[in-house]
Amino acid sequence: MQPIAAPLDTAPLYQRVADRIANRIYDGHWRPGEPIPNEFALAEEFAVSQGTIRKAMSVVEETGLVDRQQGRGTFVRKLSEERSYYHFFRLAHPGGERVTPEPDQETVFTRSANEHERDWFSLKSKDQVTVIERLRCVDGIRATSEHIVVPADLFHGLATLPESLPQALYPFYHQQYGIFVLRAEEYISAIAADKQTATDLSVAVGSPTLQVNRTAFDMKDRAVEIRTSRFRADLFQYNINLD
């Protein structure tokens, strides 16, 4: 998908209207699953023709932000758990069968951002991040450890939620905070398990593991999550489909 935004001095009117509609979705004015006003209402609000609104909504639809439903209207898209699991969680059994993780242990807390996090998230010296540390299983076997960091100001109250976080975090980010994870950059390394990783994954020190460093970006191309995951390489593979 291509970013919506274009230079304001050269963008046609429908593109500028598309930017404004998208920004309302980004900012939570319309939440996931909520209907967007019809073309007539939007044309009146933005003081443009319905034809311009129609072209603008086509641009917004192409980004995946909305779903048009025949006879019902246009709705802010919900990021499904199934899409999140299989698009962003790539652990598989040997042979390529994708696996679904199960919850095991979880800790969530807030702390001051370090220099690396401030750089990635464009934070100030006193800004904070929320950290999610969790272990997950596959078929009852400890499969992965995850260290996840997000900006605290974008995910207000995340560390004080009364219930455990859902296993698929990206639909939760979208539904709870209006943060739509569009893409992720990953770097994969083969690393021998240190003492902590060996304890977390119930393996011997020195056992083979895969480390995946991921940075996730939203529709504004902001970095919204930094994640380091360790996987057991003796039982699982990291599956990537290039179709």
Domain ranges of the chain: 13-76, 81-238
- Alpha carbon separation from 2 to 26, 141, 183, 220 (Å, rounded): 16, 39, 11, 11
pTM exceeds 0.75, yes or no: no
Is the CB of residue 63 less than 8 Å from the CB of residue 1? yes
pLDDT tens for each residue of 28-64 = 788 878 899 999 999 999 999 999 999 999 988 887 7
> Which tokens hold the place of 54?
């129609």
13-76: CATH class: mainly alpha
Task: Name the residue with higher pLDDT: 153 or 7.
Answer: 153
According to DSSP, the residues that pair with 75 across neighbouring strands are 35, 67
Q: What is the 3-state secondary structure (H, E, C) of 51-93?
A: HHHHHHHHHHHHCCCEEEECCCEEEECCCCHHHHHHHHCCEEC
Identify the CATH number of the domain defined by range 81-238. 3.40.1410.10
DSSP state of 38: P
At 113-164, the pLDDT tens digits run 999 999 999 999 999 999 999 999 988 899 999 999 999 999 999 999 988 8
- Say what angle helices 13-26 and 50-62 make with each other, to 10 degrees: 60
Picking from 127, 185, 116, the residue whose alpha carbon sits closest to that of residue 156 is 127
